[in-house]
Amino acid sequence: MALKRPKNRPDTVKLISNTEDDIWATLCRAIAEESFIPIISNTLRGEAIFPTEETAPETSTGFTVQEELVMEWATRLGYPLRENYYLERVAHYNYVTKERIPETKTDYLNFLNSYLLDIAAEDEAVAEVVPDLRKQLRKPDFGLTDITKELDYPHFENPADDPLRLLAKLRLPIYVTTSYYDFLQRLLYEEGCQVVHTHICPWAGNIDPAYLPSANFKPTPAEPVVYHLFGLDKVPASLVLSEDDYLDFLVKVAQDTAPVVKGLPGAEASQRLIPLYLWEALNSSALVLLGYRLQDWDFRILFRGIINASEAKLRRRSLAIQLDPTKQKGVENEAQARDYLEKYFRPPFKVEWDITNNFVKTLWQEWLKWQK
């Protein structure tokens, strides 16, 4: 039942070099000045949640955990096309074949819940709690974050090995994520925050005002905000899941942000799809993209529709953390792949070839040094 991929990849990718300039000092200064925004993909937690089995490198499929989960879902749906590892396409197939009913938004979430419990049922350490967790799934607000808490998935013997917790320990005013879950909020509370705001992009229509900012909202390290760009599982209509969702999202955000880009007056902050506090921060902060691949829809829409759409004249040095091309499937020419990725990101962005977990751990260590 467990996914067939290597559990621990060797940390062979070189870390950021300080030969040209001290990027760590630049990032730590941005953190200290509350001008640092991590943009976090679902993989930062998703790949740690689902237990994996050791496989020899020569037998590894090269698929990510996310892709293997999608392939399992596609099999259960009877998805008839070859590229069955693209979530956006499989979700679109599910939506169309079920006659476009709104409830299909939750089908993938329900699959993940069920699949994780199937895996847990074979785990002697937690198997006895699985029947009760299955019953609790009947509750409307009980989902993956609740299941993982009860199962203690993922379990880190050393908290310093958890990149998401380390980001929470930085106590930043703004976190942006394309994850559908509130893992980060829970960690922020555990790390001492008394108030954590959760905001959702209202691209699909009306959102409970509790998930929208007030007109004069200002996040702080004491009361940070986690902005869910592509929706939250507790509000299924907000999810950006299928290909059509991504396209609709891109069109609506482009229409909404045009007045901001041109400096013209626009709607109130609480009515914007991307609120003004976030646009202003994206324009002037150091951004670090964590856990994204260039070919994925979530990255392409995020980078093309949000980051590149904003004025970057005042933006600080920003990074896109990318896995070495030799460790990605489908790459036939490493040198050309590196050159392509480095040219895709224009200043102030720069590609750094590193494993995300390595990068976050080193950033935390450098931040501790900075504060001394």
Which residues in 138-155 are b (16+ Cβ under 10 Å) and which e?
eeeeebbbbbbeebebbe
Write out the two tokens for 355.
């494993």
Domain boundaries, the chain: 3-49+160-371, 52-151
| pLDDT, average across residues 33-43 | 94
| pLDDT, average across residues 166-182 | 97
Measured CA to CA, the distance from residue 361 to residue 371 in angstroms comes to: 16
The widest CA-to-CA distance across the chain, in whole angstroms, is 60
CA 24 to chain CA centroid, Å, is: 22
> For residues 172 and 254, which has the higher predicted lDDT (pLDDT)?
172
* AA letter at 270: S
Confidence at residue 34, expressed as pLDDT on a 0 to 100 scale: 95
| pLDDT tens-digit readout, 103-145 | 888 999 999 999 999 999 999 999 999 999 999 998 888 999 9
pLDDT of residue 6 exceeding 60:
no
Confidence at residue 260, expressed as pLDDT on a 0 to 100 scale: 52
80 exposed, middle or buried (CB, 10 Å; 0-12, 13-18, 19+)?
Answer: exposed
> Which whole-number Å values give the CA distances from 61 to 5, 44, 84, 310, 337, in the listed order?
7, 20, 14, 38, 20
> For residues 353 and 119, which has the higher predicted lDDT (pLDDT)?
119
pLDDT of residue 308 exceeding 60:
yes
Share of the chain above pLDDT 90, in %: 53
